[in-house]
Amino acid sequence: MLVLVAPGQGAQTPGFLTDWLALPGAADRVAAWSDAIGLDLAHYGTKADADEIRDTSVAQPLLVAAGLLSAAALGDISDLGPGAVAGHSVGEITAAAFAGVLDDTAALTLVRRRGLAMAEAAAVTETGMSALLGGDPEVSVAHLEKLGLTPANVNGAGQIVAAGTMEQLAALAEDKPEGVRKVVPLKVAGAFHTHHMAPAVDALAEAAKALTPGDPKVTYVSNKDGQAVATGAEVLERLAGQVANPVRWDLCMETFKALGVTALVEVCPGGTLTGLAKRALPGVKTLALKTPADLDAARELVAEHTQA
């Protein structure tokens, strides 16, 4: 069974959209999305520097656009026949489009509002996120709570992401949990999936009211608890609440395993989620779409594992 996944914030790098925009029709599609949301996605995906695309209000629409563009280059979702779809954090909106809950324009409109609301919330207090590599999850979580930090992403495969104020993160860097090899600051501009993002929940819920979601046409696995969500209305409700609650990617991967996953493809800018899958889902074939050069190999993998 094939699972199609979309990465979250921090996966973006300067110029990562350049090669994708050279594909037939891609530039026109991105230009239409840019007009719809009032943001020059092509500029930010090709010419902007790391600091510019670190801006939450820019990074989030850019990531969703990249995911949609690369998936479209791979093929029509109905032909790809994934057994399940999921996304990490903002990637959940990309996955909602894959599942038919939102069309592309609605997904970009929603993520534009999400990025702006979360950037506004992040501006209140200087906050950030750091990944803990290695260690025992229970020991790490207890240590984070002692420092006043939130385990904002429980990613599985020995990785937890801590979020909180910059002072709290500095204390973590000086006092790592027992067994943790390294603490790595992430390229994000706020303590996402924590109480610091509470103001963004209402803004996103209000934006969702203007949308008419469809029910998922393929199994949609939620970050909240790793469970499949049956209705479009519940997908939107969870998307709003999730900005202030931890991402449980570990539980998502457990669900993939229970569903019988045999292959996982991560859309552009792929790499993070395939890395986690390689450690947490041994025996599952993985492929990350980083550039169009990866498309042929991805199509071969899809053909071997499709449900269609």
Name the residue among 164, 249, 242, 148 with its Cα closest to residue 200.
242
Q: Active-site residue 89, yes or no?
A: yes
- Scanning the structure block, which residue is given the tokens 């990249």? 66
50 burial via Cβ count (<10 Å: 0-12, 13-18, 19+): exposed
CB atoms within 10 A of CB 123: 12
Which residues on adjacent β-strands are paired with residue 247?
A: 153
Among the listed residues 132, 126, 118, 235, the one whose alpha carbon sits nearest the alpha carbon of residue 182: 132
- Out of 88, 193, 196, 305, the active site residue is 193
Residue of 192, 31, 2 lying closest to 115 (CA atoms): 192
Q: Is 57 a catalytic residue?
A: no
How far from 118 is each of 30, 38, 45, 282, 287, CA to CA, in Å? 23, 17, 20, 35, 30
Closest CA to 95 of 133, 62, 68, 117: 68
Q: What's 112's DSSP letter?
A: H
d(CA 228, CA 70): 24
Query: At 16, is the secondary structure helix, strand, or coil?
Result: coil
- DSSP state letter for 247: B
Cα–Cα distance, 27 to 90 (Å, whole number): 23
Which of 89, 130, 140, 222 does the annotation list as catalytic?
89
Catalytic residues, by residue number, are 89, 193
